[in-house]
Structures are given as C-alpha cells and as structure tokens.
Amino acid sequence: MPNVKTTPRALDAYVTEKNTKLFIETGVYNEKELHARYEILLEDYVKKYRSKPV
C-alpha cells in the first residue's frame, strides 16, 4: 500500500483494483466485505473529524 499523508486518501488506496484483488486472493475479505469495511472506516473518520472543534 502506498504511504499517503491523509486518511481519506489512504482509505481510497484500500479499495484500488490492485489491493482489492490482493485482499480477495489472500482470503482476507471478499469484495462485498472489503467495500463495507471501506465505508465503515470512511464514515468513522468523517464522524471523528466533524466532532473536533475548529
């Protein structure tokens, strides 16, 4: 996985075609599980970010 500086971009890397194939072939996730996990992580990030005072 690439070394990126922001959480949203890191999460986008999570579901690239290359990484999706890796997760499926190694049995870590199936495609549906991977995208569900991505959505959960992204939603969690947004909730935490919104709750921080500016």
pLDDT at position 16: 94
Residue 31: inside a domain = yes
Range of the domain at 11: 7-48
Q: Which of 2-6, 15-19, 30-34 has the lowest mean pLDDT?
A: 2-6
**Does pTM top 0.95 for this prediction?**
no
pLDDT at position 51: 76
Banded pLDDT at 23 (limits 50, 70, 90): very high
Give pLDDT tens digits for 34-49: 999 999 999 999 998 8
The answer to whether 16 and 4 are in contact (CB under 8 A) is no
Residue 54: inside a domain = no
- Rounded Cα distance, 41 and 50, in Å: 14
Residue 53: inside a domain = no
Residue 29: inside a domain = yes
Domain count, the chain: 1
Angstrom CA distances, 28 to 40, 43, 47, stand at 16, 21, 26
